[in-house]
Amino acid sequence: MNIKVEQLAKKPFEVKGSVKNLKKTYIFQKEMAEMETLTEDNQGIEVFDAMADMIEKLIDYIDTMLHLTDKQRESLEDLEQQEVINIAQYIAMKIMGMDDADIKKALSGEEESDEGLVTPEAE
């Protein structure tokens, strides 16, 4: 499948919809949910550790899925946090089988489980 991330390249990235990538996506989403719970339950230094870990996992997930070059990864690290989150969420939704129409529907609030997710193109 082609995944377009305008912040990183003009051409779309080719990503396989393989079971391997799907497993990585589920693990990534589980880790993000665990970190969100951690930041809600803790205060102080633990929150900063969890947030730093979350950002690194976001970048690693995007890098793994898109097979970024060093320059593209560096460009990714120069983006704002919300842009990186949006890119990772968009990739995850595509890997899980959603097409752009499904993603748009989910983002419009018609599907509660994906509420608040934003595609990179929506910015």
Measure CA 103 to chain center. 13
Q: What is the per-residue pLDDT for 104?
A: 72
56 with 82: CB under 8 angstroms?
no
Question: What does the pLDDT read at residue 68?
Answer: 95
At 115 the pLDDT is 43
Which of the pair, 114 or 47, is modelled with greater confidence?
A: 47
Over residues 36-81, the pLDDT tens digits come to 777 666 667 777 888 888 899 999 999 999 999 999 999 999 999 8
